[in-house]
Chain A
Amino acid sequence: MSHAEVILIIKLNNRDFPWEEGLTIEKIMQIKKFTFPKIIVKVNGNHIEKEDYAETFVNDGDNVEIIHLLAGG
């Protein structure tokens, strides 16, 4: 396998998600169009506050949870 074909991944809500250089929580939110306001974010079990989304870099192999709280009705 050539280097170019290696895909690095993180876990996002226990599903594979492609990692890229400079990936932040904010960028994941943009890619996934996560716009719901009541969201809980954890990286490897540690809570990340909203004001830190842009500065929180995600590394290859990290376990990211972006939990949307139930709504509707």
Chain B
Amino acid sequence: MNIKNMKENHKLLAEYKYELGEIDKGYTNRTLYVNISDNTINSKPVTEMMKEKFVGGKGFGLWYLWNATTPTTRWDDSENEIIIAGGPACGITQYAGTGKSLVCSISPLTDIPIDSNVGGYFGPLLKFSGWDALEIQGKSDKDIIVYIDGNNGIVTIEEAPLEAYDAHILGEQLTEMFADNEEDKRNVAVVTAGTGAEHSRFGILNFTFYDQRRKTTRLKQAGRGGIGTVFRNKKLKALIVKFSNVKGDLNNTFEQSIINKTGIKYHKEIHDLDHLQNNMRKIGTANIIEVMDAYDLLPVMNFQYGSHPDTEKIKSTVFIEKYLTQGVQDGCWYGCSMACAKAADNFLLKTGPYKGHRVTVDGPEYENAAGLGANCAIFDPEAILELNFYCDTYGIDTISFGTATAFAMECYERGIINKEITEGLELNFGNFYSSVELLHQMSKGEGFGTVVGQGVNRMKKLFVEKYGANEEFLFDIGMEQKGLEYSEYGSKESLAQQGGYGLTNKGPQHDEAWLIFMDMVNNQIPTFEDKAEALHYYPMFRTWFGLYGFCKLPWNDIVPADNKYTDEPAKVPEHVQNYLDVVYGVTGRKLSVDDMIKESERVYNFQRIFNIRMGKGLRKDDRIPYRSMGPVTKEEYESRQERYDTQLREKIGYAPEGKTTEEKMAALREYRENQYEKLIDAVYKRRGWNSNGVPTLKHLKYLNLELPELMEVIKDLQ
């Protein structure tokens, strides 16, 4: 690659100089605003109100997005923004998982705000360069980059016509371009999308970090909701930040010793216990592939089933033994001893424009193996790694792609679509070559890949309107809600998890609550009130990570040795206290658990009202597909007949003997749908919402969130 030539062809569109400043207890107290329509760049103050009500991270992102948009703003409108913000704890290096950024935008899939969290170095380096958040608005008519030089206090907008688009190349090119030398590469962080992000609605953002041992740029993804699609629609090719003096004390914390002490205690736990618990340092989140299969929770063939004999071929040990490089530091930010960002090196690609190349594949995460693999009945580790690679470099969300492809495959197998419609692709379950071809088509913007790239919601409408498919059946089997594809866990046997997916703000992503074991296996939350309490606490607790810049994984993917003797082991109380201690150390704010939940509740309710302002966010929008609740088809029922017959007998008092499968399915469905409605009632009540899912004025008062603009949205819905 001729980096010099690429750089010489950059055309400077705007330059902005700023004072570097200092961070004060985790905050820089200002935001970098960049408008790429008129090429203006400004500094905006972060106000005390913002810190008090929204804390940082996702809270700041949603607040800026609210102020930038109107109820009619759609994802491709110029006023839509992409906001990246780390949060006050982002960038400390003494505790694990402290390099996260939250990215917010109006989603091309859902038409409501999406938030997606991501590792890599961009968020921390952005803060060290002087900015709590980066707010990008407008649309360019030419491919551009935005470069933040945090060493010299200069921001530029530049036309960048010659660089590549795909992430694994573009990340390398820009890292090379902006680093002074090999040693300096770790001081450069790049955000890119990819060619596929342009031609689908589920484009991702890739955040780089330079891996000095592998001598390559690694990629972490802000994956959900199509923010990469917004990015490319704005003609953004990349964002780059450079900051060359990372040290452990740059946050100018309130009391550093507390953070150090808490971090040392935690690192020892990782060292002593990880290999006895989830093995995050060896395999990362993919440790649960075979676990999910054993508990009948692994999505198989578009969530029809929960396990498959061939899962053996893609279990975690296969990846550990044959593909993932061991013994290297895999943290996506300094100081993360969990180091779960695994990678397969020298992986030989078999298809596509990079066929024959040997590449580093970041992953697979559990979701990739489950979505790209089991859910499409592709039980081949090399196929999963290749799909994973192309999703990343093309800028495609592995989860939405996996779920959307699984849906298209089921439609193909059932004759709802055919080879003529797919333009020759045989989309049978298990067909890796057709699946990866869909990706290549998305990259090029051609063929049936662009149809799948519209997502399940739009595919359903198209198949009904154009090909005469049965609308109700497609609603039942199409695993999306609010327009977002389900992430990769079967929820049929856990009512709480049905709510964990269905009663979310952004759509069915498990990062609010993963309650399957507590509910289905442990039977710890048997009543509606118990489930509602869990569906209040966990979503609020987990929202909190995104306000401060923390990664969720160190919370409960390892637990202290004596955690089992605590009153509520599932909450991992010692780790909750660790977070409160770290936040005290950073900001000087001494929070209780109740304070923590209340901080999250403010942002969570704000997001709910934001959804309502955009036309979603009421009870009707929390309806979920029946495939996530129970067996849609005879085959599904009969594959687990003993389980369902027993439930009919014991839970409903319905004797299955002598009944047809259809009769039994109807009885079970009526029961389960009724249970879900009762769950909604209980959860809304617990969250302080009315029966239509609208936050009450009383609850906003309790949260000290009586902002006039919010009241205006909900006053007539009380």
Within 8 A of A (CB), among B222-246: none
Chain A nearest CB, measured from B117 CB (Å):
10
Question: Known contacts A15-B523, A37-B278, A40-B564: does B295 contact A70 (CB below 8 Å)?
Answer: no
- Contact status B526-A69, CB under 8 Å: no
- Contact status B288-A72, CB under 8 Å: yes
- Contact status B517-A68, CB under 8 Å: yes
- Contact status B516-A72, CB under 8 Å: yes
Number of interface residues of A (CB under 8 A): 20
Number of interface residues of B (CB under 8 A): 35
Q: Which of B277, B522, B572 gathers most chain A CB within 10 Å? A: B522
Question: Known contacts A37-B277, A38-B277: does B570 contact A69 (CB below 8 Å)?
Answer: yes
Mask of B336-357 contacts with A, CB within 8 angstroms, 1/0: 0000000000000000000000
Q: In the bound complex, how far is the Cα of B522 from the Cα of A68, in angstroms?
A: 6
Within 8 A of B (CB), among A1-47: 13-15, 33-38, 40, 47
Chain B nearest CB, measured from A73 CB (Å):
5
- Contact status A69-B542, CB under 8 Å: no
- Contact status A72-B569, CB under 8 Å: no
- Contact status A36-B517, CB under 8 Å: yes
- Contact status B570-A36, CB under 8 Å: no
Q: Does B521 contact A (CB under 8 A)?
A: yes
Q: In the bound complex, how far is the Cα of B556 from the Cα of A71, in angstroms?
A: 7
Q: In the bound complex, how far is the Cα of B524 from the Cα of A13, in angstroms?
A: 8
In the complex, what residues of B have CB within 8 A of residue A47's CB?
A: 564-565
Q: Does A54 contact B (CB under 8 A)?
A: no
- Contact status B564-A73, CB under 8 Å: no
Q: In the bound complex, how far is the Cα of B395 from the Cα of A35, in angstroms?
A: 35
Question: Known contacts A37-B276, A40-B569, A67-B569: does B294 contact A72 (CB below 8 Å)?
Answer: no
Q: Does B514 contact A (CB under 8 A)?
A: yes
Q: Does B166 contact A (CB under 8 A)?
A: no
Question: Known contacts A14-B526, A72-B489: does B290 contact A35 (CB below 8 Å)?
Answer: yes
Q: Does B476 contact A (CB under 8 A)?
A: no
Q: Does B291 contact A (CB under 8 A)?
A: yes
Mask of B251-293 contacts with A, CB within 8 angstroms, 1/0: 0000000000000000000000000111100000000101100
Which A residues are closer than 8 A to B by beta carbons?
A: 13-15, 33-38, 40, 47, 65-73
Closest 5 CB pairs of A and B: A72-B514, A68-B517, A40-B564, A13-B523, A70-B570
Can you give 7 contacting A-B residue pairs, CB < 8 Å? A13-B523, A14-B523, A33-B295, A36-B295, A70-B538, A72-B288, A72-B516
